[in-house]
Structure formats: C-alpha cells, structure tokens
Amino acid sequence: MEVLLGSFKDLSLGNIIMFLIGGLLIYLAIKKDYEPMLLLPIGFGAILANIPASSAIGEHGFLTILYNAGIATELFPVLIFIAVGAMIDFGPLLQQPFMLFFGAAAQFGIFMTTIFAKLLGFSLKEAVSIGIIGAADGPTSIYVANLFAGELLGPISVAAYSYMSLVPLIQPPVIKALTTREERSMAMDLNLHKVSKTTRILFPILVTAVAGLIAPLSVSLVGSLMFGNLIRECGVLEKLSKSAQNELSSLVTLLLGITIGSTMVAENFLTIKTIMILGMGLFAFIFDTAGGVLFAKFLNLFLKRKVNPMVGAAGISAFPMSARVIQRLAQQENPGNFVLMQAVGANVAGQVGSILAGGVLIYLVSSLAL
C-alpha cells in the first residue's frame, strides 16, 4: 500500500498547481481553439513532468531525451521553419514589397519589451529572450530563449503561443485607441500584378544570402524558412513540399509542444519571473501593434496614396490571424472595404521581419562579451 501511495505523498502544492495549469492549457486548446496544436501538447507535457518521480523526465526520460535532441540543439525550431516556409505564399508580399516596412515596424514590441524587462532587473540575455516574444513567432522565441535563457523557455513559449492565439482579442482595442473611425474605414488601391515563377524561386535564395550576410547567425532561421519556401515554389518537389507542410509540420509541432511542456516543472515555473514574463508578453504584442499602426500613420504624412493605418498592425508575424483581424475591423467601419490582400502582404512581411530581427539580436548579443 505504501508503494502505491508513494507518489501521492511526494505530491507538492506546486505539482497540483501545475496540473491545473496543464489542464487549463488543454481546456483552452480544446474548448477555445487557442493554438490547439501547441497548447494541448504543452499542457499534457506539463502534467507528465509534474508527476513526482515521473519516468518521462530525468536522465532516461523520453521527454528529456527529446529536449536534448530537439530543443537544446535548436533542431525542432529549425524543422518547424522548413515546414512554415513550405506553407507561406510570398506572392502578396512580392506584389506589394512596400509592406516589408510594416514587417519591420511591427517588431517594435521586441524593442520596448526588452528595455522594460531590463528595467525590471533581468539580465540582458534574459531581457532579449523575453522581448523576442514580441516577434509573435513561436519558433523564433524558442530559438532565442533556448540560446540565451534556457531556464525561461517554458514561460516564454507559453506566453508566445498564448498571445498569438489571442491576437483577435489583443489587437482591436489597441488599433481603435490609436486610429479614428475615418482612418479605419480608409480604402486602399489594389494594383496587383502577376509574379513570375523566376521571381518566386530567386526570392528565397537571395533573401537567405542577404540576411546571412547582414547577420550570419540568422542563417539557421532564415535559411530553413526560405529552404521550405524554395521547395514549395520550385515546382519540381511537390511531394516534398506537401510532406513539409503536413507530415513534417505535424510531427515536429507535436514533439516540440510536449517537450516544451516538460520544461514546466513546478519549482522552475511557479516563480514571480513567470508572472512577469506573461505580463511582458502581453506588453510586447500591444507595442507590436502600436508600432505598426503608428509607423503607417507616420508614413501617411508623406505618402500621396495613403495607407490604412490598420494594415501596419498586420506586420506582426502571427499569420494569418492578424490579417483577418484587420479585414474584419475594416469591414466593421465600412462594409465595402477590402484590405485583406494588403494586410496579408504585411503579415507575410512580419514573418520575414521577425526572423530577421531574431537573427540580428542573436548576432548582436552573442558578439558581446557578457
């Protein structure tokens, strides 16, 4: 009997709280459809890791083995990027390259959050890892956090994916606070031209070369994303492209989620730092949105053909949710308004912007002798 009850005796209040948190993540995934592909495995991983003397973690635990093989080596995020690259159609961006600037402006949340985290007493590496939640890009957050602040990986990943799924709730109030009804109902010209296959093939190759030359440490991130996109666009690897979009994406997402969940052990997760990180994650998304909107308003001071400032907010990497939010808001103000294609262009630019910003930060921080 004592053997049977052994684990119950070892159960701490922290473990029970982590079971509840794991359960909450599973509830949000199933009932609310908030990033279910990630929140459900993360939630279950958290439960597995918090069972006293769990065989899932520890030297021979399968989750620890997965962690060492896929997260510590940065392999999982890189594989996810190949899958994401194979899913992305850069067409709307190639038709409206101007949208690239919104993809840069909407990284403003990284900047503000990192400074805020530093002011709260985090080290520079920790602050950058927290700030990168503002990339609104899960794999980039995981990649950077693992490199600079592995002990914060659990809360940073949970914050990144939770707020990505909450974009439809976070962005509208920020946008409405910064724009007038007239600005939101502004129509934009849509002058889309056909993009040649040669352009679509050369784009991922040249972007990898340029980004790699600007920030060599971004090559893993940019290169894997663009490799996935090249498979998609080359036209001769349809089977591989489909595999990357479906099987590779599903399998790695599954393993990534449950492995991250396994890092959420009570004694590491239930700290004041976690609460601060969750708060700053929200802060990052708010400032990303504000950065994009304000940058668009700034550009409108000089542009003849004005941009609907809401499109700037779509420059965050949360694809395609952000673009859909902008279109919905535009139609709320003016039912005939259609800015979806422009918003998708900015949203795809956000994908490029987030990994470029992540790569640049890795390069800059790694070059410091701290």
Residue with Cβ nearer another protein (35 or 126):
126
220 is a site residue for another protein (CB under 8 A):
no
Please count the residues of the chain. 370
Candidates 18, 42, 86, 94: give the one binding another protein (CB under 8 A).
94
- In angstroms, what is the minimal distance from the CB of 103 to another protein? 6
32 is a site residue for another protein (CB under 8 A):
no
CB 281 within 8 A of CB 141: no
Diameter of the chain by CA atoms?
Answer: 80
- In angstroms, what is the minimal distance from the CB of 353 to another protein? 6
98 is a site residue for another protein (CB under 8 A):
yes
Taking the CA of residue 194 as centre, how many other CA atoms within 13 Å lie in the half-sphere pointing to its CB?
3
Six token digits for residue 87: 């899913």
How many residues form the binding site for another protein (CB under 8 A)?
Answer: 48
Residue with Cβ nearer another protein (25 or 133):
133
37 is a site residue for another protein (CB under 8 A):
no
Q: Is 343 left (phi over 0), alpha (psi -120 to 50) or beta?
A: alpha
Residue with Cβ nearer another protein (323 or 357):
357
Six token digits for residue 320: 């395609």
Residue with Cβ nearer another protein (108 or 319):
108
Candidates 93, 145, 314, 330: give the one binding another protein (CB under 8 A).
93
In our burial notation (b when 16+ CB lie closer than 10 A, e otherwise), range 92-130 reads bbbbbeebbbbbbbbbbbbbbbbebbbeeebeebbbbbb
Cα 233 versus chain centre, distance: 23
Candidates 72, 195, 219, 278: give the one binding another protein (CB under 8 A).
195
CB 80 within 8 A of CB 221: no
Residue with Cβ nearer another protein (22 or 103):
103
Query: Distance (Å, rounded) from C-alpha 132 to C-alpha 142?
Result: 9
Tell me which residues in 338-357 interact with another protein (CB under 8 A).
349, 352-353, 356-357
Residues that bind another protein (CB under 8 A): 93-94, 97-98, 100-101, 103-104, 107-108, 110-111, 114-115, 118-119, 123-124, 127-128, 131, 193-199, 202-203, 206-207, 210-211, 214-215, 349, 352-353, 356-357, 360-361, 364-365, 368-370
